[in-house]
A and B are shown apart, each in its own frame.
Chain A
């Protein structure tokens, strides 16, 4: 019974914590610009992150180690520093986008400009991390994130074209604007396969003291939780195809995003959207800041743990504090928040192999996993999708920048 409850809670928190500004904005742009044609990118992105999350939980449960710990040990300091540098650069951009998203939710709610909300959001995130426990972040914020189910309600109410949607699940070449099509596809992949997500999950498994008896829980949580999370992204795409697609337009700003649910569900839809955006982005802000602090602390061998008092893990606590401050500076720097979101998601996709390839090597190492190393399917799915994301990213990012 206890295991069933753990699985249920894990699935619920995975679903509640799945959406963030990247997945909302990129799925909306896919739907607005190309109708249902890019649904396939969400499906393969979700499949990849489900495999990666399952692997990271299995790795922690079997080896008792986190990914950065093993990366440093297996590949050495200089290789670890290279992964760290790429992860820091890309994830801090994503953090800036998430803080911008949370601030945009407050702008929509109050009419007060986004820039005035960045510092309060940063302080709130810092306070939750400084005073809170891992359980509060893992369960509390993710449970609140279930409000994102509003997108599914809106998609079903909106009367989608199921036949066109089914066609969109199969990858096809674009009918028009190919550079933008591939750029949005890459951004969707980057938003779905966020490395911070599986780093966070792996550290969480150690914080929760998982061992091999949790392998079944892990499999269910990763598979079903991420699967339902992917459905939320698909629902955003469907809403955008219904609401914004007919006008053939792109998503120009956060107000366009709020139309996704408001047009279909009316005023309650607007307020549910604001809550969904705010909570999802705040949750992602907490997870990214913690993930990067975990990455540094575990790689350098410091004391770490969200449940430790800050004075007992001073470098770890100061690290996430500084990371939040840098994220706030990026959010305040004046870049268009949606442009920042798109760029950071595309860069995430383009840099995926940097973190994923060494992780796959670890996942096939019996010294860490014993008899629980990867099967062929997991290796192939993750390898192919992350290389595809990199190739598409390297080609489409310059084309998109040149085109715009």
Chain B
């Protein structure tokens, strides 16, 4: 739970992310640390996306989802949000950008354009 942010796995991993306009923007599926020889590790970003979540269960499943994701959205790697860009707001982790301007919503936008709006035309 937010309120004890020193517990990285319990309090940051799997938390809801919201964008600058308070729209849901996925969850923290992974936390990225920079491992620096001779120096303390440093949290640099969080990762968002099904590939990262799947990798916590099975590498093979993650590879399969990554292939499908590349084919559908063209994304080559999971989306990362710099650690410094995150803020605690209410009960969520918020970043300032519009989620639609980031690759986080690539599948949402693909469905919107290719399925929902095509169906309306």
Binding site for B on A (CB under 8 A): 64-65, 69, 72-73, 76-78, 80-81, 300-304, 310-311, 314-315, 317-318, 367-368
Contacts and interface: CB of A to CB of B under 8 A. Distances in A.
A81 B56 CA distance: 10
Interface in B1-42: 1, 3, 9, 13-17, 23-27, 29
Closest 3 CB pairs of A and B: A301-B27, A314-B111, A314-B112
Q: What is the predominant secondary structure among interface residues of chain A facing chain B?
A: helix
Contacts of A65: 91
A147 to B, nearest CB: 34
Q: How large is the interface on B (under 10, 10 to 19, 20 to 34, 35 or more residues)?
A: 20 to 34
Nearest to A73: B14
Most chain A CB within 10 A, of B14, B91, B111, B116, is at B14
Given A300-B50, A311-B116, 20 more contacts: A65-B91, A73-B16, A77-B14, A77-B53, A77-B57, A78-B56, A300-B27, A301-B16, A301-B24, A301-B27, A304-B24, A310-B116, A311-B112, A314-B108, A314-B115, A315-B111, A317-B116, A318-B111, A367-B1, A368-B1
Nearest to B54: A81
Nearest to B92: A301
Contacts of B116: 310-311, 314, 317-318
A72 B27 contact: yes
A72 B91 CA distance: 14
Interface string B71-100: 000000000000000000001000000000
Contact of A72 (B1, B14, B109, B111): B14
With a 10 A CB-CB cut-off, give which of A73, A81, A304, A317 has the most chain B CB atoms.
A73
A81 B17 contact: no
Contact of A76 (B14, B17, B24): B14
A302 B16 contact: no
A241 B16 CA distance: 51
A301 B26 contact: yes
A137 B1 CA distance: 33
Contacts of A77: 13-14, 27, 29, 53, 56-57
Contacts of A304: 24
A87 B89 CA distance: 31
B43 interface: no
Contacts of B14: 72-73, 76-77, 80
Contacts of A311: 112, 116-117
B15 A303 contact: no
Nearest to A70: B1
A78 B24 contact: no
B63 interface: no
Contact of A301 (B1, B9, B25): B25
